[in-house]
Amino acid sequence: MCTRSSSCTVNEGRHFESVYVMAHEIGHNLGMRHDGLQAGNNCDPGRYIMSPTLGSGKITWSSCSRRYLDAFLKSSQASCLMDAAEAEDSHLDHDADSLPGQRFPVNQQCMLKHGAGSYHASSQKLEDICEDLHCRRDHYTWTSHPALEGTTCGHRQWCRRGKCVEDSNAPGLSQELLMSSSSTGNGLGSGDRGGGAGGEWGPWSECRSSCLYGVDGALSSGSSGLALSERRCRTCREEYRYRICSAVEECGTGQRRTVQDFAHDICRSRSRSMPLLTGLAKRVPLRGPTQCEVECETTGHGVQSSDRSFPDGTVCQSASNFPAFCVAGVCTEFRCEPDALYGADPVTCRPDMGAPDPHRPLGPNPRPPAFTTTRHPATSTFTSGDRQWGAWRPASNCRFR
């Protein structure tokens, strides 16, 4: 730190996530090593600022970092740090001024990270943004960074040190929503709404699908079509509902790309700016909380989040028998209740609407097609010897590969 030739770091600051990169690099200048056994310590390599990889929730220092810093400050290398600082940047004092999360509402944080048109993903609970903010744009969801200090995460609640905490100084939820609306014109609090109550549901959109196929080559094991409906509210969050729809015709004409191909393409693109990545995706998990997130392999045989999720409608696995699909980066069950925000295909549901029929396949099956019989002149007789053939009947569900 006190050597002229090695006392600085060069960092590119493009969005708020950059502060954690800068803190990490400054930590190296102050004698800190990476966390983990490879660096000679027993601190968790995936939890703190000095982790060897970027990732969600890494916003605090480990006990190992503290020991490295203490050792550095006791050494002669830290002599230049003992003089008093001359500059005072009072406008950066979080206690004297408004917190950054109040100056930059949640949607603006998304826009600074992912560009114009980005906004907080409505599928994410507000109290979870303090650990990792999920942003939405063009039907895709990205993780970004922990929401800034002071970002509203509930009524009279805001983010402090990566946690959503109650505080009488925090603004009310509706105030934040209105402020977010006037600042971004998108996402929370946006649109022409009346009365404060939820409005009527809008019309269903056309069926849309990413047309990703499963590893077995079947569309039904890779992705479904989804239709979307929306209703708005002046003082509460927008609400969306989804229903499964068939995208067989839409997907039958394009290039066949699997879920794993999609993940490889994302990781290949990310590796151009992140040499740590190999350009290959981790094998798509069949279960677990991260199955809707694209994770990339690293040169150190580890994995790192790509900050991208699989498209809406990608098949995932839930703990129940209900069909499940990725929506805004989260594996979501599509249920049979008539008023469900995520509606399963009626042909998979039992009459009581309580659970899917275990005898029907889960996923984006359209209603079984009507079967017709065409009698060819050469084979128009349905008798063979003394036996007479019965009428044709369905023998399987429609399969599309």
Question: Contact at 8 Å (CB) between 180 and 107?
Answer: yes
24 is in an annotated binding site: yes
d(CA 127, CA 309): 20
The residue from 25, 127, 149, 333 that is catalytic is 25
- The helix/strand/coil state of 304 is strand
Task: Count CB atoms within 10 A of the CB of residue 187.
Answer: 26
Terminal-to-terminal C-alpha distance of the chain: 61
Comparing CA positions, the residue from 104, 154, 165, 103 lying closest to residue 124 is: 154
- The helix/strand/coil state of 281 is strand
DSSP class of 274? -
Comparing CA positions, the residue from 301, 254, 249 lying closest to residue 280 is: 301
155 is in an annotated binding site: no
Q: How far is CA 57 from CA 133, 156, 186, 222, 267, in A?
A: 10, 22, 26, 30, 21
Backbone angles phi, psi at 21, to 5 degrees: -65, -45
- Tokens 């000095």 sit on residue: 50
Q: How far is CA 6 from CA 33, 41, 67, 342, in A?
A: 16, 24, 22, 56
Check if 238 is active-site: no
d(CA 8, CA 226): 51
376 is in an annotated binding site: no
d(CA 25, CA 186): 35
Classify each residue of 337-365 as buried b or exposed e, where b means 16 or more C-beta atoms within 10 Å of its C-beta: eeebbbbbbeebbeeeeeebeeebbbbbb
User: Which are the catalytic amino acids?
Assistant: 25
Annotated binding-site residues for Zn(2+) read 24, 28, 34
